[in-house]
Amino acid sequence: MTQEITRAIIDGILVGGVYALMAVGLTLIFGVLDIINIAQGVLVILGAYLSYSLSTKAHIDLFVGLLITVPAMFVIGVVIHWAFIRRLRGTERTSMTLLVTYAVALIIEGILYKVYGADNVSLNASYTTSSLHVFGFYLPWIFIYGFILAVVLVLAIYALLYRTRFGRSVRATMQDETAARLVGIDVNRVAALTFGIGVAVTAVGGMLYGATNSFNPNSGYDLISRLLAIIILGGLGSVGGALAAAVFMITLESVVTIWQPTWAVAVFYAALVLVLLIRPTGFFGRKAVRAQ
């Protein structure tokens, strides 16, 4: 039993890294723009399909392909913001973005169905099925790489937010948009770039999701509720919180799976409710994030 629990915890930590990569963009976008990006799940799948095309058509390695898909997704994010998000104003903006981003999700899903069809595909490379053998456990390389990438990306985004001039603009916008405008920050530009960065990061999560699961254009809808739960638990707007929450939630789910797999999903959401009852701001609440 000890071995099973250890295995479940290891699985949870490693798989949690993949979920963190999918959730980081969502929390970043919410933190800056107050946007609940319902399209995040579909954007993950879009990232997976871009990697799929590069891998199968151009035979580019999945990780090398990120050098193309990340900038491509950044451009897509900026375009989505320019075309759909920036026009939304007023008190109903947050709720309106729910509808708008849902529409964006439907549009992207429709395009993916047209281009790729409904069949499931997956990303394959030697490291997607090979493992590292440590202390009697096989640790899949793809999850190890994914977890390392998650930590590196969280640190990179942290550095971007707290060590650069752009980051100061972003944090100023997070704290008070009106005040940020008054001190000369181009809030629209910050918003567009942040949305672009949030979507760009999703390309990494998409590649890793596609390398660990098969997917079709519809797969994103299975993800979005989990990703929302993760960013709430981590603290809306907290990039590090997304990583901590993803690891916590997936580990909890994995451990429950040992005894009763059918309860695992319920426990995932029950944990969210329980933590919010005790700590309404999540692990790293936004107030704290903004005050840093």
Partner 1 sequence: MRSNLPWFSKNAIIISAIALSVGALAACTSSSSSSTSTPTSASPKSSGSAASSAPINIGASLSLHGDFSADGANFEQGYKLWAADVNAHGGINGRQVKLTILDDNSDPNQAVTNYTTLINTDHVDLTFGPFSSKLTTPASAVAARAGYAFIEGAGGAPTVFNTPSNQSAHNVFDVSLPIADEMVPFVNYIASLPASQRPKTAAYPMADDPFADPPVQLAQQKLSALGVKTVYSKVFPAESTQYTTQAGLVAAQHPDLVVLGSTDVPTVQAFIKAFAQQHYTPKMFIAAAGPDQGAAFTKAVGAGNATGMMVPNGWYPSVAIPASQAMVAEYVKQYGGTPSAVGADVAEAYSVGEVAAQAITATGGVDNAKIIAWLHSGQTLNTVQGTVKFDSLGQNGNADAFIFQWQDNGKNFVQVLPQGAAGTVAILATKPAWSS
The answer to whether 142 touches 132, Cβ cutoff 8 Å, is no
Q: How far is the CB of 97 from partner 1 (least distance, A)?
A: 12
Q: How far is the CB of 144 from partner 1 (least distance, A)?
A: 11
The CA-CA-CA angle for residues 284, 237, 250, to 5°, reads: 65
User: Closer CB to partner 1, residue 72 or residue 112?
Assistant: 112
Pick between residue 81 and residue 226 the one whose CB is nearest to partner 1: 226
In the complex, minimum distance from the CB of residue 32 to partner 1, in angstroms, rounded to a whole number: 14
The DSSP secondary-structure symbol of 121 reads B
Of 141 and 166, nearer to partner 1 (C-beta) is 141
Shortest Å, Cβ 71 to partner 1: 27
Report d(CA 15, CA 251) in Å as an integer.
8
Torsion of CA 45, 50, 56, 61, to 10 degrees: -100
Residue 107, token pair as written in the block: 């549009």
CB of 265 to partner 1, least distance (A): 5
* Cα–Cα distance for residue pair 171/173, rounded to 1 Å: 5
* Residue 104 structure tokens: 């964006």
Least Å from the CB of residue 281 to partner 1: 5
Closer CB to partner 1, 162 or 269, in the complex: 269
**24 versus 232: smaller Cβ distance to partner 1:** 232
Q: CB under 8 Å, gap of 24 or more: what pairs does 224-228 form?
A: 224/38, 224/40, 224/41, 226/19, 226/268, 227/19, 227/22, 227/23, 227/26, 227/40, 227/41, 227/44, 228/26, 228/36
- Which residue lies nearer to partner 1 by CB, 193 or 272? 272
